[in-house]
Structure 1
């Protein structure tokens, strides 16, 4: 595990928090909460990899906390281990029924707790590796359509909450079929890889995403980016790809491989992704193709 994992320890007793911190500090980064309300707040903000949760706490007990965690899209995926003085089989059964991945009774044996935490963090690591693989396009090794859809939903909600602009560009390789027909699909695949690598090198802010949308079409998602800046980025990408000077003698547009780009910028409203962002960018792409290709067209809104 290359990056340190984060574990949230929730316990109303200071001594227990200190003990678990001392026990785990070599294994992971530990953050603390002394009640259920703090636990919910820090779980949402910090997105820990694992939560160690006491049951017997004032105001909101651990069973109530896990129910709220599992009912929130932002925290439902975080695994929870109960660490509790309630050690009856019925208490353990209730905790597991509510979605906990493990239940450790107090007083606990420190080496056992350390090993259980290590095993659960390893499971988190392996699960994320598999999830990441499922989000990568196997040909170009950039984000795939599934990752794009997931990121769009997340950034749409984030921009809607802050009233910030969200920009999208759709990129299409000009006369790609003619290239494939004359040079073969292996050569066409190399074109797609080269374009993906070039775009990924130019788009690198947190939240920005370059994805293969399908076939010879790519999508670039630019949250917190207003129209003028996004259009400048699109012009930069178009020029960079043309400057690769990949011969395309069968293109009526230029003697090298070029792309057409359509884009749109809007300020999202509400938590549900509306089709107008993609539809606007796609309509702009159609105009770019109709007007001669190898150009950027940005949709007015």
Structure 2
């Protein structure tokens, strides 16, 4: 079995402890978390990362259908596949299970080989979906967010904060010369290293993306303009002092220009804020490069 699949975590929800013990014995190669009620299951999901849920339908207080409905309403749990594992064999229950968001329906008593096969298939499908989602949102070279995903997340974050929210634009100075002199492979190495350096200095909740060529963007929150200015100075300084090995015998040093804009009362959208940061970046380029410029705003 694929190690990635075998390391999956499965939540088993059933009010019968004997049923849970049977499932635990069958799925002994997986990390299985038991829950004996719908309420317990939802509480566990608030703190546990789960890859698949096996869910009984007939349970006291909260039915499996009600649990599944709650899962599908939550951003954190809506994508977890749910397999109903139940004694209910009527067509209405089967139809309801799929309509409410279940991915499969296994009736009791079940054959161990059947349960194992269905669990494996849905875990493999879930991991494939996650990989495809990752590839669809990441820049293929650097691994950070691509332009589309960056703007999606940046807009969401923009709408959550009225103040102490900042946009940063960064650009590698004279990057074309690297490609022209050393080749595009060297340019790719520089882009990857640039990403590593910037990522290592950003706060954990920052959103960082490559939005084109040698240009990057960041949105983040901070307690003050000064905090962000100090961050930019650190990025510019650290980057300019880093030698990047582009082949076994050659190293290059590059510099960054940065522009920063804070959200203010006239910032109507994330596009406006990023445009202001881009204008500050342009000023940094025009006034010497290897520096950061803060957009002046009236607050």
TM-score if structure 2 supplies the norm length?
A: 0.76
The 10-residue stretch of structure 1 (220-229 or 122-131) with the greater mean CA deviation from structure 2: 220-229
- The match for 1:48 is 50
- The match for 1:107 is 109
In structure 2, C-alpha distance between the alignment counterparts of 1:265 and 1:23, rounded to whole Å: 56
Quote the RMSD (CA, aligned, Å): 3.6
Alignment size in residue pairs: 284
In structure 2, C-alpha distance between the alignment counterparts of 1:130 and 1:176, rounded to whole Å: 31
- The match for 1:258 is 255
In structure 2, C-alpha distance between the alignment counterparts of 1:156 and 1:59, rounded to whole Å: 40
- The match for 1:278 is 274
C-alpha contact 1:7 1:52 (8 A) present in aligned 2: yes
In structure 2, C-alpha distance between the alignment counterparts of 1:76 and 1:282, rounded to whole Å: 37
- Tell me by how many angstroms 1:166 deviates: 4.8
- Tell me by how many angstroms 1:84 deviates: 1.1
Picking from 282, 289, 294, the partner of 2:290 is: 294
C-alpha contact 1:12 1:34 (8 A) present in aligned 2: yes
In structure 2, C-alpha distance between the alignment counterparts of 1:12 and 1:283, rounded to whole Å: 61
Picking from 214, 217, 220, the partner of 2:218 is: 220
Write out per-residue CA displacement over residues 19-56 of structure 1, whole angstroms, 9 at most, x where no aligned residue.
43444353124253512x44344445534211111111
- The match for 2:247 is none
C-alpha contact 2:17 2:36 (8 A) present in aligned 1: no
Q: 1:225 to 1:114 in 2, by over 3 A?
A: farther
Q: 1:69 to 1:245 in 2, by over 3 A?
A: closer
- The match for 1:250 is none
In structure 1, C-alpha distance between the alignment counterparts of 2:169 and 2:103, rounded to whole Å: 42
Write out per-residue CA displacement over residues 235-285 of structure 1, whole angstroms, 9 at most, x where no aligned residue.
222122222357xxxxxxxx9632111234569xxxxx8445534433432
The 10-residue stretch of structure 1 (73-82 or 58-67) with the greater mean CA deviation from structure 2: 58-67
- Tell me by how many angstroms 1:77 deviates: 1.4
Q: 1:242 to 1:80 in 2, by over 3 A?
A: same
TM-score if structure 1 supplies the norm length?
A: 0.75
Q: 1:110 to 1:141 in 2, by over 3 A?
A: same
- The match for 2:171 is 172
SS of equivalent residue, structure 1 residue 240: helix
Unmatched segments (≥5 aa) in structure 2? 245-251
Q: 1:231 to 1:221 in 2, by over 3 A?
A: same
C-alpha contact 2:259 2:278 (8 A) present in aligned 1: yes
